[in-house]
């Protein structure tokens, strides 16, 4: 008698399967991966002004797009697709097999991380090619970028899985989830310069992870001199790290404790 | 040794007492069928046995394990059972063989993927995307996923809903094959002919209690109940209930001088008995 495969082993297998399934849904592949690029094309063409010496709006916007891409691809996609999987009985079927819940979560994390990396590459490539995006040169900035993407992706995935318990059905999920994401994007300085938003909006945004991800991404893509124009006159990277870690913990807690495999 | 042992099982949802004290014992190697109308407590009972729901009271043992237990032990237990749920329509973007192969990786001792595809009759469709399968083919895939782990015990919930008669016969043959390979099966079904064709024993559940457990032939005193002899007399159809149908037919034969016009001898079908049983409780 062989042993039951380990949770990690099955999680990696599930990741492969999730990617394969995702890749076959052409519409959602195009939408998910190219949507930020399309937004960049629109905003980059409309706002050709500079918001500080040497800082174009496109440069500012790319930071926001990468951050909100993490929210769209992870949180939004999972909080909508998991209720759909639940509706069609896919989750209940999985529950009836020896595959542990953690493998399912690992599989989702892999899917989100891989699609995030592709999305970022497309966005950066497009930005450099058409909108004069300047890439950071210091390795310390790339290090910041790496942990922001990793932690942001994990946080977004965990919160998406946790939030999937909220929509009653797959059909209604989008109506519940999308407004939250869009409002957060406006509040968090993705579409506008954050410091130009009303203070109450800034304060609300500061509770949620997107503001901190966006600000962190600005520290990567904007010149060091721009830090003085942030709310705290600094990038506040430590605070970003702490806030994201707290939200990651909240996401994992609810995912593990409250995940719903079955309707009703 | 019993495969499934249930004693005093109770489960309520708020004020609704779905299961009100169920006792069951299912032996190794048998096909056991649970019959009952919608809302009888059938699904709740099965879902408790499958570990999908927790019970309020009573004791449950499935393969010597309490389905309510969670954690690693529960994985080892799930490794030994197979579940075919009522309806699932997931994973439309994968092919049949991809899906079965993937699920086989969940188990410690899976059956051969190709053999399973053959046995459920999906060989020609193995490279088709699941979204392109017909309802019956999809159901076969459900069964394939239920048996890929080489289970000792298989739960089958309404397996042939939506099948045409030919597909149903083929499916029955598959289930009988599984049983002769040593798999025990708990079958829930709405089709009485299905229970009759497949089950070694049936239990009728209604209003949360088991009314009777018996072989399909003996249920509700069916084997010893009166037969009905029906024939045509001129323009009239006549019938007679009797304990001695052979004597009645013989007498008729003498009367008609040989062939009795439109002669039919019937005993109550499983369905008649079943409807009588569940109807009797409604009053």
pLDDT tens per residue, range A48-68: 788 887 788 888 888 888 998
Same domain, residue pair B202 and B264: no
Final residue belonging to a domain, choices B126, B150, B174: B150
Label residue B127 by pLDDT band (50, 70, 90).
very high
What pLDDT score was predicted for residue B134? 85
Chain A hits for B93, CB-CB cut-off 8 Å, are 20-21, 24-25
Same domain, residue pair B68 and B190: yes
Contact B88 A89 (CB under 8 A): yes
Of B203, B192, B146, the closest CA to residue B9 belongs to: B203
Region A101-127: mean pLDDT is: 93
What pLDDT score was predicted for residue B280? 59
Final residue belonging to a domain, choices B220, B250, B272: B220
CATH number for the domain spanning B34: value is 3.40.50.300
Same domain, residue pair B73 and B29: yes
Q: Which residues contact B141 (CB under 8 A, 6 or more apart)?
A: B96, B99, B100, B120, B122, B130, B133
Contact B88 A1 (CB under 8 A): no
Contact A5 B108 (CB under 8 A): yes
> Considering chain B, what is the average pLDDT of its residues?
89
Q: Specify the length of chain A in residues.
A: 264
* Model confidence at B54: pLDDT above 90: yes
**Which token pair is B71?**
């954690």
Q: Does A97 touch chain B (CB under 8 A)?
A: yes
Of all residues in chain A, the percent with pLDDT exceeding 90 is 60
Label residue B283 by pLDDT band (50, 70, 90).
very low
What pLDDT score was predicted for residue B147? 92
Final residue belonging to a domain, choices B131, B150, B169: B150
**Which token pair is A149?**
């993407």
* Model confidence at B162: pLDDT above 60: yes
Same domain, residue pair B18 and B146: no
What pairing do the DSSP bridges indicate for beta strands B153-157 and B81-84?
A: parallel
Give the CA angle between residues B17, B21, B22 to the nearest 5°: 115
Q: Does A136 touch chain B (CB under 8 A)?
A: no
What pLDDT score was predicted for residue B11? 93
Chain B hits for A95, CB-CB cut-off 8 Å, are 52
Of B58, B60, B65, the closest CA to residue B46 belongs to: B60
Same domain, residue pair B74 and B98: no
Question: Which domain, by its residues, includes B131?
Answer: 89-150
How far is it, in rounded angstroms, from Cα A86 to Cα A89? 5
Range in A107-121, B85-99, B130-144 with the lowest mean pLDDT? B85-99
Same domain, residue pair B253 and B143: no
Q: So where are chain A's domains?
A: 7-258
Counted domains in chain B:
3
Region B38-48: mean pLDDT is: 90
Chain A hits for B79, CB-CB cut-off 8 Å, are 4, 98
**Nearest CB to B85 within list A4, A13, A89:** A89
Of all residues in chain A, the percent with pLDDT exceeding 70 is 99
Contact B108 A2 (CB under 8 A): yes
- What pLDDT digit, counting tens, does each position of A132-179 carry? 888 888 999 999 999 999 999 999 999 999 999 999 888 889 999 999
Same domain, residue pair B123 and B254: no
How far is it, in rounded angstroms, from Cα A177 to Cα A173? 6
Q: Does B13 touch chain A (CB under 8 A)?
A: no
What pLDDT score was predicted for residue A2? 67
- What pLDDT digit, counting tens, does each position of A9-38 carry? 999 999 999 999 999 988 878 887 888 888
């Amino acid at each position: 008698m062989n042993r039951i495969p380990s949770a990690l082993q099955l999680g990696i297998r599930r990741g492969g399967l999730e990617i394969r399934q995702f890749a076959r849904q052409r519409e959602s592949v195009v939408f998910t991966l190219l949507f930020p690029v399309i937004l960049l094309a629109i905003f980059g063409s409309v706002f050709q002004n500079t918001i500080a010496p040497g800082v174009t709006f496109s440069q500012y916007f790319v930071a926001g797009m990468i951050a909100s891409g993490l929210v769209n691809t992870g949180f939004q996609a999972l909080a909508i697709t998991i209720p759909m999987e639940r509706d069609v009985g896919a989750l209940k079927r999985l529950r009836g097999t020896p595959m542990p819940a953690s493998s399912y979560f690992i599989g989702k994390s892999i899917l989100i991380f891989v699609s995030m990396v592709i999305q970022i590459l497309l966005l950066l490539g497009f930005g450099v090619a058409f909108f004069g995006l300047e890439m950071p040169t210091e390795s310390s900035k790339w290090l910041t970028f790496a942990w922001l993407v990793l932690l942001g992706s994990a946080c977004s995935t965990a919160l998406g899985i946790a939030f999937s318990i909220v929509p009653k059905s797959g059909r209604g999920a989008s109506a519940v989830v999308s407004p939250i994401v869009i409002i957060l994007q406006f509040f968090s300085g993705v579409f506008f310069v954050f410091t130009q938003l009303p203070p109450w909006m800034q304060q609300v945004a500061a509770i949620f992870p997107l503001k901190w991800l966006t600000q962190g991404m600005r520290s990567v893509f904007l010149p060091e001199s721009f830090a003085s124009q942030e709310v705290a006159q600094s990038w506040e990277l430590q605070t970003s790290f702490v806030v994201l870690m707290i939200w990651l913990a909240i996401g994992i807690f609810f995912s593990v404790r409250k995940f719903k495999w079955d309707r009703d | 040794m019993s495969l499934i042992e249930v004693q005093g099982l109770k489960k309520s949802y708020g004020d609704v007492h779905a299961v009100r004290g169920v006792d069951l014992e299912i032996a190794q190697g048998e096909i056991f069928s649970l019959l009952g109308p919608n809302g009888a407590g059938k699904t709740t009972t099965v879902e408790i046995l499958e570990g999908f729901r927790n019970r309020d009271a009573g004791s449950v043992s499935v393969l010597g394990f309490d389905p309510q237990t969670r954690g690693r032990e529960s994985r080892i237990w799930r490794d030994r059972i197979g579940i075919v749920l009522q309806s699932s329509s997931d994973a439309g973007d994968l092919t049949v063989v991809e899906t079965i192969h993937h699920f086989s990786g969940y188990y410690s001792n899976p059956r051969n993927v190709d053999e399973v595809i053959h046995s459920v009759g999906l060989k020609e469709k193995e490279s088709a995307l699941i979204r392109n399968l017909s309802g019956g083919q999809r159901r076969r895939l459900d069964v394939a996923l239920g048996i890929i782990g080489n289970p000792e015990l298989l739960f089958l919930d309404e397996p042939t809903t939506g099948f045409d008669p030919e597909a149903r016969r083929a499916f029955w043959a598959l289930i009988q094959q599984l049983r002769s390979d040593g798999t025990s099966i708990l079958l829930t079904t709405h089709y009485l002919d299905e229970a009759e064709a497949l089950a070694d024993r049936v239990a009728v559940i209604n209003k949360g209690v088991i009314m009777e457990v018996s072989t399909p032939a003996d249920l509700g005193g069916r084997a010893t109940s009166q037969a009905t002899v029906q024939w045509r007399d001129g323009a009239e159809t006549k019938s007679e209930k009797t304990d001695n149908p052979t004597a009645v037919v013989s007498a008729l034969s003498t009367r008609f001088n040989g062939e009795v016009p439109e002669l039919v001898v019937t005993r109550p079908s499983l369905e008649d008995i079943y409807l009588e049983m569940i109807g009797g409780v409604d009053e």
